[in-house]
Chains A and B, each alone.
Chain A
């Protein structure tokens, strides 16, 4: 029989025609490795693969239709609200296998460049302070999601990707399967997410501990307890009401500054004065993340992470002072800084090393390098000289983080059973699988198809 290929349907707002010739008639787990890229990632209960499409890398997840479409739409909603999440590209439905049986749809998202799943960060060895920074990034992400009415339902490190953000990290959501979008969230709904977060994170930290990837000074229980504290503090700062006497009006300004320092802009602040005018009550009503990111974007067109933006803006301020342009318009100085400082550093990096770090991260690290070099040599080391030093001493030795090689995942010397799927665990010799009484019994019992209510069987059973 001649096999006739059935073309599946693509649901996408921005279709990529290069997706069409991929082998959709094969279950994702059986795709030839020519189509795949082995990138590190979290564990997943579905079959997930990174696929190469031209020069792009996409993540593909095989999942039942209702969930695939739900997740595609939820991720689209998150993108619309500018919340850090992976970008949805398409849902491929109507797949039919070579045997004529239908296959589950595939959700396709864009691979987040320079992103690091927690397992690969820990595999490289993580200092205790870094764990705190990762948790901070996670807490900021959770609070941002809650601010836009997003109930996650499955908060875990496996469902987050991290990107370097100056000395901190920025967290991105990668899995929205269980998520619900609401107008606003109730306290109960937020507690629900927190409960899930601590259980999942405790499990994940215990797993790292079992795999000898967690520093001995860190206790999983203390780590998850700190998440709750950090989240509650951040949430109170972002949304809590504050009351003070009329003599303390400066506290309005203070609150706004504190929120800015946390990376948030106050778009709407409710200010109420008591009838006799003796006390004032303020409460932020709408806060938007990305305070520094937006300012840098407005001044320079650079779109970078929040902490990177803060660092770059500080450097811009220093540049302004150093060039004695205090009275010149900020956008004019910003343009000079871009062409005289930022761009020369970035273009000095040889093309073959550009996959190691993002441009803004490199600039940030060059600034750090220059500071240490200037201290050491007791002179002001020029920016370009520092850049060359950084490239030679630091950058060359760093691993490539644009598309990291998956062989390092796993930390200890163990090897992944399948380099394309960390959920399948490691190659180790555990002997043959024991017999499972439940699975052998199952095969004898014909099950009625889902969606059909066999009332006669139900009557017979209840009788």
Chain B
């Protein structure tokens, strides 16, 4: 088992005008489940491939434990890549399907059998070992594929979107299984996904990337509660955080005809800026007698909650069409009617996130 460190690691593709990964600094603890997440082209897969040795590191270094692996070939890094592909071979038993790569690597039979047995035990597949894979369910096939990586007993697991080709139901159950398995194995794992829900539910910590640059690395709850910048604020959470711009006035930020109170020390950080961006999550809104005016377009009731969708009140028809949608989660006992105008206020002033319009950075504590 081992730690993983990226130290100022960069990758520039030939002919590209900016790096695919730009001076990445990331420390991954021993046994930690680290998820790299971000939109397509953010550099997350490239970072993983740099760690795997499949992508050249143009500057900076990568360490696994104390070893500088920057220039080591992939096979000498003691890592196992878990691919999304999980073809099972029909003539081979489940045990052979799990252990064939060990055979290729020249591991002796007794050792192979022991490792396969151990992995099968972890995966609840012991009674399937002697069978052919034909009747296995989708989930069982996925577990055999995980077994293939586990038997290699690497220092680090690398997983590149392993769930992307699964149907929705299998994806949800498999992600729970992978996370539980990783906790039991305690092997350092770097997991890449574009799906923030997957990242948030699986990772011990999540590294959010955009345009090759690490935006923030934190526990899922810290990312959710204290996003470091506008990108992270908008990317993490579903439904997404409402991001509303307003002019700075005395004591707060003016949205429509309502001044949202913002602490003086936060406003002071804005310096010369004229406007700020307020971030409020849908569940941190409440219906109030005074607050931000919202013209209600749609109300969607889901059990105890109702989601209210609308636009800022007081916009003319043209402005409404291009206006950003605002979402609030309120109690389903007293949902507003569509077509009405309501006032929204924050449940707790501390749940309002304040961001600089200019630098996009978080200003609130």
Contacts and interface: CB of A to CB of B under 8 A. Distances in A.
Interface of A: 43-46, 63-64, 66-67, 104, 153-154, 156, 158, 177-178, 182-184, 186-189, 191-192, 195-196, 198-200, 202-204, 206-208, 210-211, 220-221, 224, 417, 422-426, 428, 430, 433-439, 442, 445, 447-453, 455, 458-459, 462
B173 A442 contact: yes
B72 to A, nearest CB: 13
9 contacts: A188-B49, A189-B49, A189-B54, A203-B87, A203-B89, A207-B91, A417-B134, A447-B169, A455-B283
A198 B137 CA distance: 27
Nearest to A180: B45
Contacts of A204: 89
Contact of A195 (B74, B87, B177): B74
Contacts of B15: 183-184
A210 B89 contact: yes
Contact of A438 (B54, B124, B221): B124
A450 B165 contact: no
B283 to A, nearest CB: 7
A204 B173 CA distance: 28
B143 interface: yes
Interface stretch (B2-10, B29-37, B194-202, B344-352): B194-202
B320 interface: no
A182 B103 CA distance: 34
Given A186-B14, A192-B54, A439-B140, A458 B237 contact: no
Contacts of B128: 434, 436
Contacts of A154: 83, 85
Given A195-B74, A199-B104, A448-B172, A104 B87 contact: no
A453 B92 contact: no
A114 to B, nearest CB: 25
B137 A439 contact: yes
A423 B89 CA distance: 8
Contacts of B103: 206
Contacts of A437: 124
B221 A459 contact: yes
A450 B171 contact: yes
A46 B84 CA distance: 12
A449 B168 CA distance: 8
Contacts of B154: none
B86 interface: yes
Interface in B209-229: 219-221, 224
B165 A438 contact: no
Contact of B238 (A182, A430, A436, A452): A452
Contacts of B169: 447
B257 interface: no
A177 B165 contact: yes
B54 A43 contact: no
A63 B88 contact: no
Contacts of B321: none
Given A199-B101, A450-B172, 11 more contacts: A43-B87, A45-B85, A67-B165, A189-B55, A203-B101, A210-B96, A425-B134, A426-B90, A430-B132, A453-B200, A462-B221
Contacts of A192: 49, 52, 54-55
A30 B50 CA distance: 44
B117 to A, nearest CB: 16
A204 to B, nearest CB: 7
A202 B100 contact: yes
A178 B85 CA distance: 9
Contacts of B137: 436, 439
A401 B54 CA distance: 40
Contacts of B81: 195
Contacts of A425: 90, 132-135
Nearest to B89: A207
Interface string B136-157: 0101110100000000000000
A45 B86 contact: yes
B134 A451 contact: no
A64 B165 contact: yes
A458 B221 contact: yes
B164 interface: yes
The 3 nearest A-B residue pairs measured at CB:
A425-B134, A207-B89, A211-B91
A459 B283 CA distance: 14
A256 B132 CA distance: 50
A439 B139 CA distance: 8
A333 to B, nearest CB: 46
A428 B93 CA distance: 13
Contacts of B283: 455
Interface in B87-139: 87-92, 96-97, 100-101, 103-104, 123-125, 127-128, 131-135, 137, 139
Contacts of A188: 49, 53-56
A70 to B, nearest CB: 10
A67 B132 contact: no
B167 interface: yes
B258 interface: no
Nearest to A63: B165
Contacts of B132: 425-426, 428, 430
Contact of B131 (A46, A63, A430): A430
Given A188-B53, A451-B197, A206 B100 contact: yes
A417 B125 CA distance: 22
A459 B176 CA distance: 16
B177 A438 contact: yes
Contacts of B131: 430
A427 to B, nearest CB: 9
B104 A224 contact: yes
A46 B171 CA distance: 14
A452 B15 CA distance: 39
A184 to B, nearest CB: 7
Contact of A158 (B87, B135, B197): B87
A200 B87 contact: yes
Contacts of A210: 89, 91-92, 96
A45 B91 contact: no
Contacts of B134: 417, 424-426
A451 to B, nearest CB: 6
Contacts of A64: 165-167
